[in-house]
C-alpha cells in the first residue's frame, strides 16, 4: 500500500497530540456542556482541515454539529450547469454522521455574484431567461436539499443576500432575471419542498457593532417581507464574526451597541424565528501583540456576546467558524498588521484550549434553563 508523506506526518502529529487530547477528552466537551442546557455546539470543517487526523479528532471530541466550510457551496458542487460533484461534501457529511454528529448545510444559495461560480453569469439563459433562471436555481436547491434531507436538520438556505453598505439586496446573474426578492423566496420554497422537516435559515453577518445599523435594518426588512409573503423560513443565522470589521481599527474590538442589538433580536424572535450563532470567531487585529492580553480580550468579548445571545430561549445553536487558530480563514484573508499569527478560535494552533474555550463553556454553563 502506498502511503504519502502527508499522511505519515499527519499520523505522527496525531500520536504526538494523543496525551493532550486524552486529557482534554476527560473534561466535559463543549457539545456536552451545551447539551445539558438544551443546546447544540459545533464548528465548521473544510476538506483541507479534514485531512488532518488530529484536527478531526479535536472536532469529534468537542462538537455535536459540523458544517462544511466550503464543500456545499455552488463553487464546490457545480463545475458546470449540468454536473453535481458531491465527493467532498459527502466525505465530511459521512464522517460527521458516522461519528454521531449532526450536520448543518451551508449554503444552498450564496446570494452574491462574487461567490458563485463564473459559469452562472456566462450561462445561456435562452429565450425565456426568467424561466431558465428559476429552473436552474430550483434544480440546484432541490437536488442538494433532497440528497441530504435525511442527515441534515438545518440548512443555511440563503447566505449574505444584502449589501451592508447600501442596505439593498444584492444583484446576481440569477436575480437579474428573477428579481432579488423572488430569487430568495424561490430558494426557500424549493428547500422546504425537498427537505420538509429541515430548519430553513437566512444567514448573514450583521453584528452588534454600533456601526452596523444599516445592515441590521436591512435584514429586518428582508425577514419581514419574507414573513408577509408566506415564505417558509424558520431562523436567522447570526454569523458572529466579532471584532472590528476594519482590519486597521486603532484599538479595541469596536464599539458595540447592546441596546440596538437587543432591539434587533427582539424583532427577529417576535417574528417567531429561531436565532442561530452560525460562525463565531473573534477578529483580533485591533488588539495588542501580547498573547495573554489578546486572548483575555477576545474571551471577554465573546463571553459578553454569548451571555446576551443565550438569554434568548430561541437561541439553541452555537457554531464556531473553526476550532483552531491553525486553520482559521482569518489568517489568510485578514492578517494582523504586526505579522503575528491570529488567535480568533477557542483552541490555539497546537490544539491547546484557550481562554475563549473557557468563555464559551462558561456562557453555556451560565445559560438560564429556558422552559
Ligand atoms: O479548494 C481550492 C483549492 O483547490 C485551490 O488550490 C485554492 C487556491 O486558492 O483555493 C481553494 O479554495 C478555497 C476554499 O476556501 C477552500 O480552502 C477558496 O479559494 C477560498 O475562497 C475559500 O474561502 C472560503 C470562503 O468562505 C469562500 O468560500 C473560506 O475557507 C470560508 O471560511 C469562508 O466562509 C465564509 C462563509 O461561507 C460565509 N460567511 C463568511 C465566512 C468567512 O468568509
Q: Is pLDDT larger for residue 150 or for residue 247?
A: 150
Percent pLDDT > 70 in the chain is 90
Ligand 1 site: residues with CB under 6 angstroms? 46, 48, 69-70, 73, 115, 159, 239, 279, 329
pLDDT band at 323 (very low <50, low <70, confident <90, very high): very high
Residue 333 confidence (pLDDT)? 86
Q: Among the listed ranges 7-21, 29-43, 322-336, which one has the minimum average pLDDT value?
A: 7-21
Q: In this structure, is residue 14 part of a structural domain?
A: no
pLDDT tens for residues 51-101?
Answer: 999 999 999 999 999 999 999 999 999 999 999 999 999 999 999 999 999
Atom of ligand 1 nearest to the CA of 239: 39
Phi (first) and psi of residue 68, to 5 degrees: -60, 135
Q: In this structure, is residue 158 part of a structural domain?
A: yes
pLDDT tens for residues 196-244?
Answer: 999 999 999 999 999 999 999 999 999 999 999 999 999 999 999 998 7
Asked whether the predicted pLDDT for residue 167 surpasses 90, the reply is yes
Question: Which residue lies with its CA nearest to atom 22 of ligand 1?
Answer: 70
Q: In this structure, is residue 324 part of a structural domain?
A: yes
Residue 97 confidence (pLDDT)? 98
Q: In this structure, is residue 1 part of a structural domain?
A: no
Cβ neighbour number for residue 342 with a 10 Å cutoff: 21
Q: Which residue has the cell 442589538?
A: 261
Atom of ligand 1 nearest to the CA of 73: 28
pLDDT tens for residues 273-294?
Answer: 999 999 999 999 889 999 999 9
Instruction: Give residue 233's domain range.
Output: 22-366
How far is the centre of ligand 1, averaged over its atoms, from the C-alpha of 70 (Å)?
6
63, 42 Cβ separation under 8 angstroms: yes
Asked whether the predicted pLDDT for residue 8 surpasses 70, the reply is no
Atom of ligand 1 nearest to the CA of 76: 1
How far is the centre of ligand 1, averaged over its atoms, from the C-alpha of 72 (Å)?
11
pLDDT band at 272 (very low <50, low <70, confident <90, very high): very high
Assign residue 105 the CATH number of its domain.
Answer: 3.20.20.80
Asked whether the predicted pLDDT for residue 155 surpasses 60, the reply is yes
Q: In this structure, is residue 361 part of a structural domain?
A: yes
77, 85 Cβ separation under 8 angstroms: yes
Give how many domains the chain has, as a whole number: 1
pLDDT band at 154 (very low <50, low <70, confident <90, very high): very high
pLDDT tens for residues 22-56?
Answer: 555 568 999 999 999 999 999 999 999 999 999 99
How far is the centre of ligand 1, averaged over its atoms, from the C-alpha of 270 (Å)?
34
Task: For the chain, give the mean pLDDT.
Answer: 92
How far is the centre of ligand 1, averaged over its atoms, from the C-alpha of 71 (Å)?
9
Asked whether the predicted pLDDT for residue 139 surpasses 60, the reply is yes
Which among 73, 79, 329 is the best mutation to test ligand 1's pocket, defined by most ligand atoms within 8 Å of the CB?
Answer: 329
Residue 337 confidence (pLDDT)? 87
Question: Which residue lies with its CA nearest to atom 32 of ligand 1?
Answer: 329
Q: What pTM does this model have? A: 0.93
Atom of ligand 1 nearest to the CA of 44: 32
Asked whether the predicted pLDDT for residue 18 surpasses 60, the reply is no
Q: In this structure, is residue 31 part of a structural domain?
A: yes
How far is the centre of ligand 1, averaged over its atoms, from the C-alpha of 312 (Å)?
31
Q: Which of 227, 179, 221, 228 is nearest to 204 (CA)?
A: 221
How far is the centre of ligand 1, averaged over its atoms, from the C-alpha of 257 (Å)?
30
Q: Round to whole Å and give the CA distance between 169 and 164.
A: 9
Residue 197 confidence (pLDDT)? 97
Question: Which residue lies with its CA nearest to atom 5 of ligand 1?
Answer: 48
Which among 68, 69, 283 is the best mutation to test ligand 1's pocket, defined by most ligand atoms within 8 Å of the CB?
Answer: 69
Atom of ligand 1 nearest to the CA of 321: 32
Percent pLDDT > 90 in the chain is 85
Question: Which residue lies with its CA nearest to atom 16 of ligand 1?
Answer: 70
Q: In this structure, is residue 10 part of a structural domain?
A: no
Q: In this structure, is residue 38 part of a structural domain?
A: yes
Question: Which residue lies with its CA nearest to atom 15 of ligand 1?
Answer: 70
Question: What's the mean pLDDT in 175-201?
Answer: 98
Q: Which of 172, 181, 68 is nearest to 117 (CA)?
A: 172
Amino acid at each position: 500500500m502506498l502511503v504519502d508523506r502527508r499522511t505519515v506526518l499527519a499520523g505522527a502529529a496525531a500520536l504526538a497530540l494523543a496525551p493532550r487530547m486524552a486529557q482534554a477528552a476527560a473534561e466535559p466537551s463543549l457539545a456536552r456542556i451545551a447539551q445539558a442546557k438544551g443546546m447544540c455546539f459545533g464548528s465548521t470543517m473544510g476538506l483541507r482541515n479534514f485531512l488532518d487526523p488530529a484536527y478531526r479528532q479535536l472536532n469529534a471530541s468537542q462538537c455535536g454539529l459540523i458544517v462544511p466550510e466550503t464543500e456545499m457551496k455552488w463553487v464546490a458542487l457545480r463545475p458546470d450547469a449540468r454536473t453535481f460533484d458531491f465527493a467532498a461534501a459527502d466525505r465530511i457529511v459521512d464522517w460527521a454522521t458516522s461519528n454521531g454528529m449532526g450536520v448543518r448545510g451551508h449554503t444552498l444559495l450564496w446570494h452574491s455574484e462574487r461567490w458563485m461560480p463564473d459559469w452562472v453569469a456566462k450561462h445561456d439563459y435562452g429565450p425565456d431567461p426568467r424561466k431558465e433562471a428559476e429552473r436552474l436555481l430550483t434544480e440546484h436547491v432541490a437536488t442538494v436539499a433532497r440528497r441530504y434531507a435525511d442527515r441534515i436538520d438545518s440548512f443555511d438556505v440563503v447566505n449574505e443576500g444584502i449589501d451592508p453598505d447600501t442596505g439593498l439586496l444584492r444583484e446576481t446573474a440569477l436575480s437579474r432575471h428573477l428579481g432579488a426578492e423572488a430569487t430568495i423566496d424561490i430558494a426557500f420554497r424549493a428547500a422546504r419542498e425537498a427537505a420538509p422537516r429541515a430548519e430553513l435559515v437566512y444567514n448573514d453577518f450583521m453584528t452588534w457593532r454600533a456601526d452596523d445599523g444599516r445592515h441590521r435594518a436591512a435584514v429586518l426588512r428582508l425577514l419581514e417581507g419574507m414573513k408577509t409573503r408566506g415564505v417558509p423560513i424558520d431562523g436567522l443565522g447570526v454569523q458572529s464574526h466579532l471584532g472590528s470589521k476594519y482590519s486597521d481599527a486603532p484599538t479595541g474590538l469596536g464599539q458595540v451597541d447592546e441596546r440596538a442589538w437587543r432591539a434587533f433580536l427582539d424583532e427577529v424572535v417576535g417574528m417567531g424565528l429561531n436565532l442561530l450563532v452560525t460562525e463565531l470567531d473573534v477578529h483580533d487585529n485591533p488588539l495588542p501583540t501580547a498573547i495573554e492580553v489578546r486572548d483575555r480580550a477576545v474571551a471577554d468579548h465573546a463571553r459578553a456576546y454569548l451571555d446576551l445571545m443565550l438569554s434568548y430561549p430561541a437561541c439553541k445553536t452555537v457554531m464556531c467558524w473553526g476550532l483552531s487558530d491553525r486553520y482559521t480563514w482569518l489568517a489568510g484573508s485578514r492578517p494582523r498588521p504586526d505579522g503575528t499569527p491570529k488567535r480568533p478560535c477557542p483552541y490555539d494552533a497546537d490544539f491547546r484550549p484557550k481562554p475563549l474555550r473557557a468563555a464559551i463553556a462558561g456562557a453555556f454553563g451560565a445559560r438560564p434553563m429556558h422552559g
